Amino acid sequence: MSDNRLPEGFRLQAGCHNCRHCAMTWDHDEGRTFWCAFDAPPRPPCGSVAMGERLSFLLSDKEVRRQRHMDWEEWSEGRQTSSHGICPQWEEKG
């Protein structure tokens, strides 16, 4: 007996949530945030505690910590998207 109660033919629609170019970050109090990484350099640490990227724990040097925060701010500017978004560059995660 199958526990699947979804209608036959159910499928996920294409969107940022299942695009190979999407980078997702999350934290305890903010939930998930989606970022478009199409044609972007590698994502720097975002400072998320839940993801283990909290910069104050990783770095004791205040200036290096500040630079890492600025690296994240520069990378993330203009890249925030929606899990339901879609664009012509969408490619299925695989």
pLDDT at 22: 95
pLDDT at 12: 84
pLDDT at 19: 95
* pLDDT tens per residue across span 41-55: 999 999 898 998 887
Quote the CA–CA distance of 37 and 43 in Å, as a whole number: 8
Long-range contacts of 44-50 (CB under 8 A, 24+ apart): 44/68, 44/71, 44/72, 44/75, 45/72, 46/72, 46/76, 47/72, 50/26
* pLDDT tens per residue across span 23-78: 999 998 888 999 999 999 999 999 898 998 887 655 667 888 888 889 999 999 99
pLDDT at 2: 61
Q: pLDDT band at 7, cuts 50/70/90?
A: very high
